[in-house]
Amino acid sequence: MAMLIDGKATSRAVRDEIRAETERFLKATGMLPGLAVVIVGEDPASQIYVRNKHKACEEVGFLSQVHALPEATTQEELDALVEKLNHDPAIHGILVQLPLPKHLDAEEVLLRIDPEKDVDAFHPVNVGKIMIGTDSFLPCTPAGIIVLLKRHGIEIAGKRCVVIGRSNIVGKPMALLLLRENGTVTICHSRTKDLASVTREADILVSSVGKAKFVTADMVKEGAVVIDVGMNRDEAGKLCGDVDFSAVEPHVSAITPVPGGVGPMTITMLLQNTLKAAKKAAGIA
């Protein structure tokens, strides 16, 4: 039976560490790490994500601000709010919840966020730092996956690592972080020929394609480690990942469940980035 890579338990452990470090930070500086989340419009999924982030901040003792703007907010109004938060010393991290309404330019907004407060690590400055290995912040989902692997005793160095998906949020940075841990990395995508022959070479397989049960048993090497980033609904409307869990699990050495695998780590790493930003702003190593 495969080892279940437990994101819930790992997330709790990391948040306990963040809470303890936050208390030390408060004693040293008289301040709390501050995260501001900006949401525009009424997208139901975005509202759930924002509530979860606010709850997580409260859990570890952060200052949490939620700026909920109406659907009709103009580009100028949104840009002005971001600039205001850039100059607010109580705010160490700024997150603009995506997607934005179609009349707003998400790229323009993300470029306006001070790179020192870009705790999502989406700003080109931070993306470049990740590329050359001098980063301040790591993108939350890929960073969470690295923590999951390490805390479950899974060696990355020297392993064949295959990432399915090349998004800027998960696929590309995931490949970079695995490479930094001395994995030998291949990125697969919609134009990859004979995908299964490539994925079967993977000691560590990461899927982030967003298609329910896309990864089947014939695509996985015996004894591999499988990380499922997907969050989908199957034909019955049940939450599932990219991986056909029941078919794949008997063949692998370790696997993340959905839900309860990668998902809990993403917000936890956002908290870690915010704490890092606060410590940097305060001149604490």
Integer-rounded Cα radius of gyration of the chain: 19
CATH class of 140-262: alpha beta
Is residue 234 among the annotated active site residues? no
Name the catalytic one among 6, 117, 118, 120.
Answer: 120
With 90 as the cut, is the pLDDT of residue 1 above it? no
Longest distance between any two alpha carbons in the chain, whole Å: 57
Question: Fold identical between 29-114 and 140-262?
Answer: yes
pLDDT tens per residue across span 55-81: 999 999 999 999 999 999 999 999 999
Model pLDDT, residue 136: 82
Is residue 120 among the annotated active site residues? yes
The two tokens of residue 160 are 């064949």
Name the catalytic one among 53, 213, 221, 279.
Answer: 53
Strand partners, 95: 37
Under DSSP, the state recorded for 61 is T
pLDDT tens per residue across span 233-251: 988 889 999 999 999 999 9
How far CA 41 is from CA of 96, 190, 201, in Å, comes to 12, 32, 44
Model pLDDT, residue 21: 98
As a whole number of angstroms, the distance between CA 33 and CA 95 comes to: 14
Where does 29-114 sit in CATH, by number?
A: 3.40.50.10860
pLDDT tens per residue across span 161-171: 999 999 999 99
**Residue pair 130/121 in contact by the 8 Å Cβ criterion:** yes
Average pLDDT, the chain: 96
**What does the domain layout of the chain look like in residue ranges?**
29-114, 140-262
Name the catalytic one among 6, 97, 159, 276.
Answer: 97
With 80 as the cut, is the pLDDT of residue 285 above it? no
DSSP codes, 234-249: -TTS-EE-SB-HHHHG
Is residue 53 among the annotated active site residues? yes
